[in-house]
């Protein structure tokens, strides 16, 4: 971990130097704005809708009959963009993102297969902060790099559970998940990255199509016991949106 922080510090310093150098060498006008920007409008707002695929990552060790599987969901939200340079912009917003997963257990005992499945439907409120690096003339190609923070807003459980007298049949349930403050870490943060393209329809309105990844760096389980199996989400979004230049 210490090694990671050391490398990170060096890279951040290098990036800061590079950025400072680039600003110094960029011709600017009297008001300090870069003159090579061809964008007439710097601020924009937009709305987005996405399909999500969330992949949970945790260590099941010897529990080979258990598996945590990806699950699809929906995401929607709105963003605000600022484009100080033609090649560099920034974007933030507020999104409701489904980070769902499926827990399955299957085991064969005496040639009889037992199993259960439980779907965890999680809704997160995420605020991404991304650098928007873009090239292209009419159709622009984007690379998004940044980080996000958020909150595990609510969760629902759908599936089947075994009960005392019935182990080969499940009892169906569909209920809100009750958060446990000892176990559940509801603060969510991680890295954002993605690719996209934007197609302008007019001076004011454009269409965005993007592939984004939300790579979680916060363990959704707090460390409340000696032996700990961290649990992380990685969420892929295939997003379509409309951007309105202000």
Of 115-134, which residues contact other proteins (CB under 8 A)?
A: 116, 118, 131, 133
Q: Which two tokens stand for residue 85?
A: 């340079």
CB within 8 Å of 19: residues ≥ 6 apart: none
Taken in order 162, 166, 168, 171, the sign of the CA dihedral is negative
**Using CB under 8 A, which of 76, 85, 90, 153 touches other proteins?**
85
* Contact flag: residue 157 with other proteins (CB under 8 A): yes
Q: How many chain residues interact with other proteins (CB under 8 A)? A: 71
**Using CB under 8 A, which of 43, 82, 129, 173 touches other proteins?**
173
* Contact flag: residue 18 with other proteins (CB under 8 A): yes
* Contact flag: residue 111 with other proteins (CB under 8 A): no
Q: How far apart are CA 56 and CA 52, in angstroms?
A: 13
* Contact flag: residue 191 with other proteins (CB under 8 A): yes
**Using CB under 8 A, which of 51, 154, 219, 242 touches other proteins?**
219
Binding pattern for the stretch 36-75 against other proteins, x by CB under 8 A and - elsewhere: x--------------------xxxxxxx-xx---------
**Using CB under 8 A, which of 39, 78, 163, 195 touches other proteins?**
163
Contacts 24+ apart (CB under 8 A), 36-41: 36/85, 36/86, 37/83, 37/84, 37/85, 37/86, 38/86, 39/83, 39/86, 40/203, 41/83, 41/203, 41/204, 41/245, 41/246
Residue 238, H or E segment:
strand 231-245
Q: How far is the CB of 1 from other proteins (least distance, A)?
A: 7
Q: How far is the CB of 167 from other proteins (least distance, A)?
A: 7
Q: How far apart are CA 60 and CA 120, in angstroms?
A: 17
| Among the residue ranges 47-55, 93-101, 141-149, 196-204, the one whose residues contact other proteins (CB under 8 A) | 141-149
């Amino acid at each position: 971990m210490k090694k990671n922080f050391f490398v990170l510090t060096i890279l951040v310093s290098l990036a800061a130097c590079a950025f400072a150098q680039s600003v110094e060498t960029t011709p600017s006008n009297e008001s300090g704005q870069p003159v090579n920007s061809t964008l007439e409008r710097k601020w924009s707002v937009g709305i987005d809708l996405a399909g999500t695929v969330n992949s949970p990552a945790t260590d099941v060790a010897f529990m080979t009959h258990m598996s945590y599987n990806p699950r699809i969901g929906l995401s929607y939200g709105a963003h605000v963009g600022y484009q100080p340079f033609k090649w560099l912009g920034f974007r933030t917003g507020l999104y409701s993102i489904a980070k769902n997963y499926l827990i399955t257990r299957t085991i064969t005992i005496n040639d009889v297969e037992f199993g259960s499945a439980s779907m965890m439907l999680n809704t997160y409120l995420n605020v991404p902060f991304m650098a928007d690096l873009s090239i292209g003339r009419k159709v622009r190609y984007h690379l998004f790099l940044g980080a996000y923070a958020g909150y595990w807003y609510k969760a629902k459980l759908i599936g089947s559970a075994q009960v005392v007298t019935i182990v080969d049949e499940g009892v169906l349930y569909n209920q809100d998940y009750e958060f446990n403050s000892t176990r559940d870490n509801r603060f969510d943060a991680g890295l954002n990255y993605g690719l996209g393209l934007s197609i302008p329809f007019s001076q004011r309105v454009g269409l965005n199509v993007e592939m984004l990844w939300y790579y979680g760096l916060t363990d959704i389980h707090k460390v409340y016991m000696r032996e700990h199996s961290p649990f992380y989400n990685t969420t892929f979004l295939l997003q379509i949106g409309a951007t309105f230049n202000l």
